[in-house]
Chains A and B, each alone.
Chain A
Amino acid sequence: MNLDGNSKQRQREAELDRRAKALDRWQESEWVVDCLRSKSGSPLKELSDEQIVDWHQKVEQR
């Protein structure tokens, strides 16, 4: 693999790692919030992976 290929591979791994951490943290957040939520007749708004990664970035920036 050339230098450019290595760099892209590293970027991809970093992105996957970031995504995995964000999803882990989101699950933890959901566990807490689920203890506090009341059941509702309307379905919960689902967040996309991108929204979860954005949420995680905001949490980390605090």
Chain B
Amino acid sequence: MTTTSFQLSRGKEIPFTFRDIAGPQQPPATPSEWFARRFPAEVKRWGCPFLEAVVEDVETGRKLVTAVSMNNSFFAAALSDSQLNHSVVFYEPDQEWFFLDPRDNFYHPTSEAKLMTLLSALLLRCAEEMPACVDRISLFVKFREDQRLKAVVKQARSVLAADSTFFSINSPHQRIEGPEQHGRMARQFVGRLIKPQAGQLLSIGDCYNGFEGYCRNNGVEPVARKAFKQLVVEIIKEEFEVGFRSDLKNAEGRYLRGWKGLTVDVDARN
């Protein structure tokens, strides 16, 4: 004769940081425990990883633990492993996935198929490390089916959502390629090479030439001149409180468009 009960286990909360000094631990006895040890912050926030059924043989006292249903929110959050300082985001403006690569600290694009692969691999590792009293078939087969993995990744679109400010030019997060990269370059250029100098006129053409050189020195393809003007006018206004003008007249009496009282420090470029 057997009895069946259900459990929502969060495991024992030992932060990853203290894992090594908390003394020897028993290996995780259930799938929820396995994931809770690996993702304590995500368990704390999103709840236990699985609903588990425990079938106990009344005569022998033997138990069989089976993961019955997965907590999609927890698994969605676990795709961005905070214990390893990883970060995965769904960048809503472009409807695209990015992960932070610790080798260069830039966000790189990734895909839903790759996120499904990661989740599938985690479930497989959990199955491999479970003791005999855990039903490993459900972990290996049922929870690794495409439709279940897809459901988690779909949920992750909201759990790991990042808005347009995430990669903005003032944000600490940088992706490897993106339109904001030009904004960052323009800001750097203005900060490092544009200097106030009384009586000087800086034409948009000279400013762009300086920017082009600055980009090339830094191995970046410069943005087109028209787009540059849109970027730089705002930045210069912020930085020097000097507005863009179309009525400037140079020493030869020629009209030019640009700024009064600014110059490009060409020496600082090299």
A residues sitting closer than 8 Å to B (CB atoms) are: 21, 25, 28-29, 32-33, 35-38, 44-45, 47, 55, 58-60, 62
User: Are B85 and A59 in contact, with the CB atoms below 8 A?
Assistant: yes
- Is B110 in contact with A60, judged by CB distance below 8 angstroms? no
Instruction: Verify A29–B117 contact, CB threshold 8 A.
Output: no
Q: Within the complex, what minimum Cβ distance (angstroms) separates A11 from chain B?
A: 18
Are B85 and A45 neighbours in the complex by a CB distance under 8 Å?
no
> Sorted from nearest, which 10 A-B pairs have the closest CB atoms?
A35-B118, A36-B110, A59-B85, A36-B99, A29-B84, A45-B103, A36-B114, A35-B117, A60-B17, A32-B81
Other-chain residue from B85, B88, B104 in contact with A62 (beta carbon distance below 8 A): B85
- Find the A residue at minimum CB distance from B98: A36
Which residues of chain B (96-112) have a CB below 8 Å from chain A? Answer: 99, 101-104, 108-110
Q: How large is the interface on B (under 10, 10 to 19, 20 to 34, 35 or more residues)?
A: 20 to 34
Bound complex: CA A32 to CA B82 (Å): 12
Closest-CB distance, A49 to chain B (whole angstroms): 14
Q: B20 on the interface (CB 8 Å rule)?
A: yes
Q: In the assembled complex, which residues on chain A have CB atoms less than 8 Å from the CB atom of B102? A: 29, 33, 55
Q: Is B220 an interface residue (CB 8 A)?
A: no
> Which chain B residues lie closer than 8 Å to A32 at the CB level?
81, 84, 86, 118
A36 / chain B contacts, CB cutoff of 8 Å: 88, 99, 108, 110, 114-115, 118
Taking CB atoms, residues of chain B closer than 8 Å to A62 are 17, 82, 85
Alpha-carbon gap, A2 to B184, bound state (A) = 57
Question: Across the interface, which residues of A come within 8 angstroms of B114, CB to CB?
Answer: 35-38
B86 CB contact (under 8 Å) in A29, A44, A58: A29
User: Which chain B residues numbered 117 to 160 have a C-beta less than 8 Å away from chain A?
Assistant: 117-118, 121
Q: Is A33 touching B85 in the complex (CB atoms < 8 A)?
A: no
Inter-subunit contact B17/A33 (CB<8 Å): no
Assuming the contacts A33-B99, A44-B103, A47-B103, asked whether A38 and B86 have C-beta atoms less than 8 A apart, the reply is no
- Of B17, B81, B84, B115, most buried by chain A (CB within 10 Å of CB) is B84
CA distance A38 to B108 in the complex (A): 9
